[in-house]
Amino acid sequence: MSSPSVDQAVERRRTLVSEVLERPAARLALADLPTPVERAPWLDEGAAEVWIKRDDRSSRIYGGGKVRKLEWVLANPPYDGDEPIVSVGGVGSHHLLALALFLKERGRSLHALTFTQTLTPHVRTNLAVLLSQGAQLWNVGSRARLPWAWLAYHLWRRPERMGRSMAAGASTAVGCLGFVEAGLELAGQIAQGLLPRPGTMFITGGSAGSSAGLALGLAIAGVSTRLHIVSSVERWAFNGLMYRRMMGLAHRRMVADGLRAEHAEGGAAGLLARAGVEWSIDHSQVGGGYGVPTEAASRALEDGREHGLALETTYTAKCIAGMRAALRGSAITGPVLFWNTHASNDLRPLVREGWQERCPVELGE
């Protein structure tokens, strides 16, 4: 384990989660919180008034939702040592990119088991930055072949020092605490009058950690709402069974950390029911699969650009497309919130000359 440092003392500061747990976990100081909320009339549909939670502004290094989870995951066992981290994702994965950037800040490295995805300009930039930051990639041609990447890593292309394995998206019970904190943060902004209580919230989903933590945080804060989760992956990769499991893991972790009795009774399902927090998973925007742009997502991407909102077609543009489809002609009225989990940082200055020489993907022209 790495020796204590000055910033590790700061990392154990009081947090919103600390107010509901007797023995809160440690937390790194990686994010700039709270992130702002703002009205977005250009997204209004029918009688719905749309607001945006600007998590794209959550860090000067790399914003979006990933940093919220990494604050907690990298501060606690088994990821608080000095060894490399090995995790999985597409070659343009935001999770892998966030890991590479924040690990490098702490003198650590990333080993990435990757699969080739549609090389949009955004994905190509992410890949260039990932390689420029020194990440080592074990790549295969598709998600279905990821077991071969795992075998290569452990058998015939073993690194000099093996990495500590981390779940995709940093979606662990501890990682969920980042979005439990986010739910409590939003509740505070509602109480301050910075926005009205949204009757419906839209957030993207893939590995379940962000949306599961958010539902629990909102329920603990007593914010009655419906969480509409627009999936970026097929039903077999993200569904209600997986979502309930992730919420259960996170809730049990909080109970073990001393969650107040009024929030512990009845498990995660009981907590949500008492608070009036409902959820649903929407697979209508998956299109050709993970990372494959759709026409509706491409339109949302361009609309966002015109209004100063950076999106991408794997997650957040598909989420806006799903929100528009859900609101169009529906009975939803009043305040609606879109939770923007994408980072708005311009990473192009981080691209280093010669990254293509280490690239495992055919880039074409």
Q: Do 123 and 91 share a structural domain?
A: yes
42 within some domain = yes
348 within some domain = no
Residue 14 has a pLDDT of 59
307 within some domain = yes
20 within some domain = yes
Residue 2 has a pLDDT of 40
Q: Tell me the per-residue pLDDT of 57-96, one tens digit each, with 9 for 90 and over.
A: 999 999 999 999 999 999 999 999 999 999 999 999 999 9
Q: Do 275 and 229 share a structural domain?
A: yes
Residue 143 has a pLDDT of 93
Q: Tell me: pLDDT of 349 over 90.
A: yes
38 pairs with which residues across the strands? 52
Cα–Cα separations (whole angstroms), residue 54 to 115, 178, 185: 29, 15, 12
Residue 7 has a pLDDT of 45
Mean pLDDT for 311-317 is 96
355 within some domain = no
Q: Tell me the per-residue pLDDT of 168-190, one tens digit each, with 9 for 90 and over.
A: 999 999 999 999 999 999 999 99
Query: Quick one: pLDDT band at residue 6, thresholds 50, 70, 90?
Result: very low
pLDDT exceeding 70 applies to what percent of the chain?
A: 96
Residue 13 has a pLDDT of 47
Q: Tell me: pLDDT of 351 over 90.
A: yes
Q: Using alpha carbons only, what angle is made at residue 334 by residues 330 and 337, rounded to the nearest 5 degrees?
A: 90
Distance separating alpha carbons of residues 16 and 40, to the nearest angstrom: 27
The domain tally of the chain equals 2
Q: Tell me the per-residue pLDDT of 93-145, one tens digit each, with 9 for 90 and over.
A: 999 999 999 999 999 999 999 999 999 999 999 999 999 999 999 999 999 99
Q: In this structure, what token pair is assigned to residue 34? A: 């709270």
Residue 330 has a pLDDT of 86
Q: Tell me: pLDDT of 293 over 90.
A: yes
Q: Do 183 and 314 share a structural domain?
A: yes
Q: Do 89 and 41 share a structural domain?
A: no
Q: Tell me the per-residue pLDDT of 198-257, one tens digit each, with 9 for 90 and over.
A: 999 999 999 999 999 999 999 999 999 999 999 999 999 999 999 999 999 999 999 999
Residue 8 has a pLDDT of 42
Residue 329 has a pLDDT of 78
Residue 218 has a pLDDT of 98
Residue range of the domain that includes 201 = 13-67+171-340
74 within some domain = no
Q: Tell me: pLDDT of 309 over 80.
A: yes
Q: Any idea what the CATH number is for the domain that residue 135 is in?
A: 3.40.50.1100
Q: Do 175 and 28 share a structural domain?
A: yes
Q: Do 189 and 139 share a structural domain?
A: no
313 within some domain = yes
